[in-house]
Homo-oligomer: A and B are copies of this chain.
Amino acid sequence: MTAKLNARSEPKTRILDIAERLFSENSFASVSIRNVTSLAHVNLSAVNYYFGSKKDLFHEVYIRRATEMNHERLLLLNDFSSLAEKEGRNVTVKELVYALITPPILWLYDKEQGLSVYIKFLARAYLEKASDMSHVLKEEVDVFDIFIPYFNKIYPDLEQNDLYWRIHFTMGAMHHTINHIDRIGLLSNGKCKAENWEKTRDRIVAFCSKGF
């Protein structure tokens, strides 16, 4: 292999990958273009050349994968929905929570495509004023709007208020796990670990579906 180690992909992709990682671990302001370009093995001016500005780069980082994840949620929902129909029953809460939780947690543990990094990036981006997350947020809200009727069928008497709050808490348990996947070890004095994604997912699903 004669090429440099980190030079296997296109410069633009390499910049996006590195930026995604750095922005997932540090705040927007504390990541410099210099950090990005040096780690991506491209020239300092490459970011401006390919993206225009640091903000634009940030923007492209989340645009790149934004819709994918919500799409996966809906695919799971469809699977459960047609299965339930075939069996002549309602979709269960467990299935609904499962469909909401699985894609992000699955991504969190992905090592190959860097999806793990993106999930952490997203969680951090929500807090950044520099980022306009309305786009991502709107997509997520749209997805929830598709899930809501299913919940309503299960709990016809539940106030809409309460329903939204419970979805909110479910997202909270998930986001917290994503943001602080390492803290569970500290919290338990080293006794606990986030072993594998299925177990983590199942734990969240069990906890949250009981909460509904």
Contact = CB atoms under 8 A, between A and B. Distances in A.
Interface of A: 25-30, 124, 126-130, 137, 141, 144-145, 160-162, 164-169, 171-177, 179-180, 183-184, 186-189, 191-192, 203-204, 206-208, 210-212
A39 to B, nearest CB: 16
Nearest to A208: B211
A164 B176 contact: no
Given A172-B172, A186-B141, A26 B129 contact: yes
B176 A172 contact: yes
Given A141-B189, A191-B160, A166 B207 contact: yes
Secondary structure call for the A interface: helix
A156 B166 CA distance: 28
Given A27-B127, A207-B211, 17 more contacts: A27-B28, A29-B29, A30-B130, A144-B187, A160-B188, A162-B203, A164-B187, A168-B177, A168-B180, A169-B203, A172-B172, A172-B173, A172-B177, A173-B176, A206-B211, A208-B211, A211-B211
Given A27-B27, A177-B168, A127 B127 contact: yes
Contacts of A126: 179-180
Contacts of A173: 169, 172-173, 176
A26 B129 CA distance: 7
22 contacts: A26-B129, A27-B30, A27-B128, A29-B29, A126-B179, A127-B127, A137-B186, A144-B187, A145-B189, A160-B188, A160-B192, A161-B188, A161-B191, A162-B203, A164-B187, A165-B192, A169-B203, A169-B208, A171-B176, A172-B176, A173-B176, A206-B211
User: Which of A28, A177, A208 neighbours the largest number of chain B CB atoms within 10 Å of its CB?
Assistant: A208
A207 B165 contact: yes
A192 B159 CA distance: 11
